[in-house]
Amino acid sequence: MLQINLHHSKAASAAFCRTASAQNIDIALIQEPWLVKGRVAGLNEAKGELIYCRTIQNVRTCILVRNRTQCLPCIEFCSRDITAVKVRNNVRGRTSGDVILCSAYLPYDAVQLPPTRELASLVEQRIVSGGHLLVGCDANAHSVEWGSTDTNRRGESLLEFLLSNNLHILNLGNKPTFRNRIREEVIDITFCSEGLLSSVDGWRVSDEPSLSDHSYILFNLGGLAEQIQQFRNPRKTQWATYADSLSLRLGKIPRITSCIQLEQAASNLQDIMLDSYCSSCPLLTRSKNKNASWWTRDLAIKRGAVRRLFKRARRTRVWGPRLSCGCRSPISVSME
């Protein structure tokens, strides 16, 4: 899984598509996606289905799902600042309720202290139903409990809410999740219900340049019912093998004297035909496409240069002005 705030940037959206394809991301919790005429744009190359509230323009959250069959949108909890999907949970080989995955944005300029009414309603519903919950959130709040350098009123309010509802913070360390030219801070958090603690591992802030002022957050969520896409291609059927198998299994057709015998014979014939077809046309598994169709060698070279500049700028804390694409570039650092 991946969590990212794209800062409404076209460049950050393109970089996200590349990262999602290269790292085989199954589900991405996204805040502040790039918008065109009020609709989420720029994420088609990630080869997944976008889930967000399509009845509202200028949404600030969405969820990208690579395998749509395993997720069901929670329409009642999809709004401008929150998007939720329900996934079947299968821990240790047995079904143990549903998992609700949520992407949330808590506006920094809101008059009300966090959480928002929508997020509080989602947590309350989870408590009533007894299901599991995992939230990737741009909290815009500071608290030393999740690695910030200080604690403000917004952080105190959000932390009190999490503790009172038995929700656990998954952030590890104090590596900044947000950087701009004047400061860096941990304001993106991931939290979950107690039942999911043993299923989440590998939470980390990635060093991969996102072309946004937020960093990628990566983690693994085990126990979800995996939907492997398998199919049979009739064009690859070995028809000679099919005919031989069919003739061997059919044998001598008995004489039919009643309706019951006719129904039984028809059922046996259907089973024999299906078994012969399955044995002569094996199942194939759809492989995930690791490459973006638009990625070129020239883009790979430029991406390497951006990564080197980003690391050097982070060490020297020298950042360039904002580019027209919406990201910040350390252009004041020379390439030599």
Going along the chain from its start, the domains and CATH numbers come out as 2-227 (3.60.10.10), 230-285 (no CATH)
What does the pLDDT look like over 293-330, one tens digit per residue?
667 778 878 888 888 888 788 777 665 554 444 454 44
93: left (phi over 0), alpha (psi -120 to 50) or beta: left
Three-state DSSP state, 166: coil
Three-state DSSP state, 185: strand
Q: How many CB atoms lie within 10 A of CB 175?
A: 15
Using alpha carbons, select from 21, 68, 75, 27 the residue that is nearest to residue 49. 68
pLDDT at residue number 323: 47
185: left (phi over 0), alpha (psi -120 to 50) or beta: beta
Of the ranges 66-70, 232-236, 285-289, which is most confident? 232-236
Using alpha carbons, select from 314, 319, 322 the residue that is nearest to residue 330. 319
Q: How far is CA 320 from CA 113, 317, 328, in A?
A: 33, 10, 6
Helices 239-250 and 259-280, packing angle to 10 deg: 150
The proportion of the chain whose per-residue pLDDT surpasses 90, expressed as a percent, equals 47
> pTM for this one?
0.70
pLDDT at residue number 224: 60
